[in-house]
Amino acid sequence: MTAPSFRNTVRVRFKDCDAAGIVFFPRYFEMLNDLVEDWFREALDWPFERMHGADRAGVPTADLQCRFVAPSRMGEVLTRELAVTRLGSSSCTLRVRFLGAQHDGRADLRVEFSQRLVCVDTARMAPRPFPAPVREAMARFVDEIGNEAPAAPSAASAASPSPSSNS
């Protein structure tokens, strides 16, 4: 990640693992939610108890994609990194990576997520803008490289089949 990212660590516990001693995949989603909650509290100064209580707001997940890369084992400490790839007035898209210990100077990617959160008024369950101070704090985590849109296929490449499409 090239932009400043929010980082913290989590130890893989017995409760997180299946009989093979590796993280049971739904536990990664709980670890993701914990990271997002920590980010709102520690970096954005909008803890969930205030957000959901006095401010009557929430940030439900509208879209979530993940890619499992390598297993994580009981006892390991994972570093969780969060960056913003898109910031709108009432939604944001996050890129999150969980990394294992470094080997040969490189972190070992375990799982990565793309998550879109939408700020909602919980009384109406309708989108509402992020509070200005929260959105300003989020802007510090915007990864400009992550904001680059993928190139659209040209008409010629869209019309001709790829070599792998003959299956």
CATH number at residue 37: 3.10.129.10
Q: Is residue 11 part of a domain?
A: yes
Q: Is residue 51 part of a domain?
A: yes
Q: Is the pLDDT of residue 143 over 80?
A: yes
Domain region containing 9 = 4-138
CB neighbourhood size of 131 (10 A) = 16
pLDDT in tens, 103-112: 777 779 999 9
Domains identified in the chain, total number: 1
CA distance linking residue 2 with residue 84, whole number of Å: 11
Q: Is the pLDDT of residue 46 over 80?
A: yes
pLDDT in the model for residue 153: 37
pLDDT band of residue 48 (cuts 50, 70, 90) is very high
> Alpha helices, DSSP H only, in 10-166?
25-42, 48-52, 132-139, 155-159
CB 80, CB 67: distance < 8 Å: no
pLDDT in the model for residue 146: 53
Q: Is residue 45 part of a domain?
A: yes
113 forms beta bridges with 66, 96
Q: Is residue 64 part of a domain?
A: yes
Torsion on CA atoms 140, 145, 150, 154, rounded to nearest 10: 130
CA distance linking residue 17 with residue 26, whole number of Å: 10
CA distance linking residue 76 with residue 12, whole number of Å: 5
CA distance linking residue 88 with residue 4, whole number of Å: 18
Mean pLDDT of 21-29: 97
Q: Is residue 109 part of a domain?
A: yes
Q: Is residue 117 part of a domain?
A: yes
Mean pLDDT of 123-150: 85
Q: Is residue 56 part of a domain?
A: yes
Q: Is residue 127 part of a domain?
A: yes
